[in-house]
C-alpha cells in the first residue's frame, strides 16, 4: 500500500481542499467563534474548523420538551463579565435571573438545615462550626490574590512559594475546622472540577484575582455567590444560543466534523489539515483547551515551554446531573433549589428551570475525586444516587422526575473535562508565560488564556477578541 509523504500532503490534496483564507480558527466554541466574528467584521477571510458535529464547546443546550432547554454545560453569567454580556446584547440574547428565592438547604453529618438564599452570607451556610473559619480563609485568599498580576501570575511577589504548594497544603495550615474545610472542598469541586490537593495555590489565588474586570478586583465570594456573583443570571434559550447565532451569521465559514490533526508553518503561510479537509492560511488561531491543543501535530514543533505546558495542564473532572419535573415543586415549599451537602455524589445543586418555570429542573455537580469515582459506576446507579440526594434536600417528589439526563464532560472527546484546565504546583512559574505567547503565525485563544474570568464564558469571549486583535496587529 502506497504511503503519502508530508511533502506530498502539504503540496497536494488532503481530502477536500479549500481555497486559502487569511485566518483559520481551530475550535467553534465561544472563543473561536468570537475571534472569527471579529475578524470577519474587520474584512478578513476566515474559516473555522470544529471537531464536533456542533458548535458551542463547553456550552450545550439539552432539549427538555415543548421547545425548552436546560444547559448541560456552562450557563451562568454575572457582574463584571462585561464582554460576554456585551456579546449577548449584540446578538439579542437576553438574560434572566437565576432563581434565588426561598431557603437554601445545608446537609451535613446527616442533619438538614435551611437558611435564606439571599441572606448576608450569600451561598455560604451559617454553620457555626465552619463559617468563621471559612470567612477568615476567604479574606486571606483574597488578600493574596490582590498581589497577583492578572496577565502574569508567575511575576507575583511570592510566586515561587505560592506555586510550590498545593491548595490543600495551604488549607491545612490556615483552616482549623473540619466544617470550614468541607465547605471549601465542596466549592472547589464545583468551581474547578478538582480537589484542593490537585492544584497549586498560585493558580487558585490567580483565578480569584481575575474574577473581576479592569476596574474591579476579583473575589472568592463573587465566584461562589448567586446574588451579585458569578451565578446571578442565565441566558434565555440557553448559553449555547450565543454560539449558534454566531455560527449562523458566519455561515459556510464554519466547518463541522473537522478535527485538526496537523498545523504546518512554512514560508509566509500556514497549512492546516484535518482528516477530510485542508487549507492554506496566513495565520491560525487555536481556540481549544491546552490539553487538546497539545494533541495537534505541529511543524516545526512547539517550543519546549509550550509543549511542556500542554502536557501539564489537565482539565477538571465534572459531571452535571439534571432531573426534569412537571413544575418546580420545591419553590412551592419555599425552597430555592440550592443545596450544599456532604452527601455523595453531588455536593452542590441549583434550580435550572426555564424563565417561565415550566417545567421545573434541578441540577447537581459531581466534581473532582467524586466525579472519577461515580463515572465508573453504572448509569442506573448514578441516577438512583442523584435522585436520592434531591429527595433528601427537597422532598420525596424529587424521586419521580419526568426525565433525567447527565453530561459527563470527562468522556467528551473534544473537551476531555470541564469546566477549566488548571495547573498543578510548579507549572505556572515554569511554563505559564507560554499560555498566550504566539508561535510564529499561530495564536492562542480559549478561556484558559484569558486574563479576566478565566474558565468562564466571559473569559472565552475575551480571549477570542484578544486573539483577533493580535492577528490584526501582526499586520494581516
pLDDT of residue 121: 85
Q: How far apart are CA 87 and CA 36, in angstroms?
A: 13
- Tell me which H or E stretch contains 23: strand 21-26
How far, in Å, CA of 130 to CA of 115, rounded? 14
What's the pLDDT at 16? Answer: 65
Separation between Cα atoms, residue 219 and residue 188, nearest integer Å: 14
Q: Read off the pTM.
A: 0.95
What is the dihedral angle through the alpha carbons of 372, 339, 351, 167, rounded to the nearest 10 degrees?
-50
The CA–CA distances, whole Å, from 12 to 9, 19, 269, 447 equal 5, 13, 15, 35
> Residue 61's beta-bridge partner residues?
71
pLDDT at residue 7 tops 90: no
For 204-255, what is each residue's pLDDT tens digit? 999 999 999 999 999 999 999 999 999 999 999 999 999 999 999 999 999 9
Name which residue leads in pLDDT, 3 or 457: 457
Kindly report, residue by residue over 345-366, the tens digit of the pLDDT: 999 999 999 999 999 999 999 9
Q: Is the pLDDT of residue 451 over 50?
A: yes
Per-residue burial over 325-363, b if 16 or more Cβ lie within 10 Å, else e, is: beebbbbeeebbbbbbbbbebbbbbbbbbbeeeebbbbb
| pLDDT tens profile 296-323 | 999 999 999 999 999 999 999 999 999 9
pLDDT at 160: 98
Record the cell numbers describing residue 89, joined without a space.
Answer: 446584547
CA gyration radius, the chain: 22
Q: Can you tell me the mean pLDDT for 390-414? A: 97
Average pLDDT over residues 15-39: 91
Q: Do residues 137 and 175 lie in contact, with contact meaning Cβ atoms separated by under 8 Å?
A: yes
116-120 long-range Cβ contacts below 8 angstroms, 24+ apart: 117/226, 117/227, 117/336, 117/338, 118/227
Amino acid at each position: 500500500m502506497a504511503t503519502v509523504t508530508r511533502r506530498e500532503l502539504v503540496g497536494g490534496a488532503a481530502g477536500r481542499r479549500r481555497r486559502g483564507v487569511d485566518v483559520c480558527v481551530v475550535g467553534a466554541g465561544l472563543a473561536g467563534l468570537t475571534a472569527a466574528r471579529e475578524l470577519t467584521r474587520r474584512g478578513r477571510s476566515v474559516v473555522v474548523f470544529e471537531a464536533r458535529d456542533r458548535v458551542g464547546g463547553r456550552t450545550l443546550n439539552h432539549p427538555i420538551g415543548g421547545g425548552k432547554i436546560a444547559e448541560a454545560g456552562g450557563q451562568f453569567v454575572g457582574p463584571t463579565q462585561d464582554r460576554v454580556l456585551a456579546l449577548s446584547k449584540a446578538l439579542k440574547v437576553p438574560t434572566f435571573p437565576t432563581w434565588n428565592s426561598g431557603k437554601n438547604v445545608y446537609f451535613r453529618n446527616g442533619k438538614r438545615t435551611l437558611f435564606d438564599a439571599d441572606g448576608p452570607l450569600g451561598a455560604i451556610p451559617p454553620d457555626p462550626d465552619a463559617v468563621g473559619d471559612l470567612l477568615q480563609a476567604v479574606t486571606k485568599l483574597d488578600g493574596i490574590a490582590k498581589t497577583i498580576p492578572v496577565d502574569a501570575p508567575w511575576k507575583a511577589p511570592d510566586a515561587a512559594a505560592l506555586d510550590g504548594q498545593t491548595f490543600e497544603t495551604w488549607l491545612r495550615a490556615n483552616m482549623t475546622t473540619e466544617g470550614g474545610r468541607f465547605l471549601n472542598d465542596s466549592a472547589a469541586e464545583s468551581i474547578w472540577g478538582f480537589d484542593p490537593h490537585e492544584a497549586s495555590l498560585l493558580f487558585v489565588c490567580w483565578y480569584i484575582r481575575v474574577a473581576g474586570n479592569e476596574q474591579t478586583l476579583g473575589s472568592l465570594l463573587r465566584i461562589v455567590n448567586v446574588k451579585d456573583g458569578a451565578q446571578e443570571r442565565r441566558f434565555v434559550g440557553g448559553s449555547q444560543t450565543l454560539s449558534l447565532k454566531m455560527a449562523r451569521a458566519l455561515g459556510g465559514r464554519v466547518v463541522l466534523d473537522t478535527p485538526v490533526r496537523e498545523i504546518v508553518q512554512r514560508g509566509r503561510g500556514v497549512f492546516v489539515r484535518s482528516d477530510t479537509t485542508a487549507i492554506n492560511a496566513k495565520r491560525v488561531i487555536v481556540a481549544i483547551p491546552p490539553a487538546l491543543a497539545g494533541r495537534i501535530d505541529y511543524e516545526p514543533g512547539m517550543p519546549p515551554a509550550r509543549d511542556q505546558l500542554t502536557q501539564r495542564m489537565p482539565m477538571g473532572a465534572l459531571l452535571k446531573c439534571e432531573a426534569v419535573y412537571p413544575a418546580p415543586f420545591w419553590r412551592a415549599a419555599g425552597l430555592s433549589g440550592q443545596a450544599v451537602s456532604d452527601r455523595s455524589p453531588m455536593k452542590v445543586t441549583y434550580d435550572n428551570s426555564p424563565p417561565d418555570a415550566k417545567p421545573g429542573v434541578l441540577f447537581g455537580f459531581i466534581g473532582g475525586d467524586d466525579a472519577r469515582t461515580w463515572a465508573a459506576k453504572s448509569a442506573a446507579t448514578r441516577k438512583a444516587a442523584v435522585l436520592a440526594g434531591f429527595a433528601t434536600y427537597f422532598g420525596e417528589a424529587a424521586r419521580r422526575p419526568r426525565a433525567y439526563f447527565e453530561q459527563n464532560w470527562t468522556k467528551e472527546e473534544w473537551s476531555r473535562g470541564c469546566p477549566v484546565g488548571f495547573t498543578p504546583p510548579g507549572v505556572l512559574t515554569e511554563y505559564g508565560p507560554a499560555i498566550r505567547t504566539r508561535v510564529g503565525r499561530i495564536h492562542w485563544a480559549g478561556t484558559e488564556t484569558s486574563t479576566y474570568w478565566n474558565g468562564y464564558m466571559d473569559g472565552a469571549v475575551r480571549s477570542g477578541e484578544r486573539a483577533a486583535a493580535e492577528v490584526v496587529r501582526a499586520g494581516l
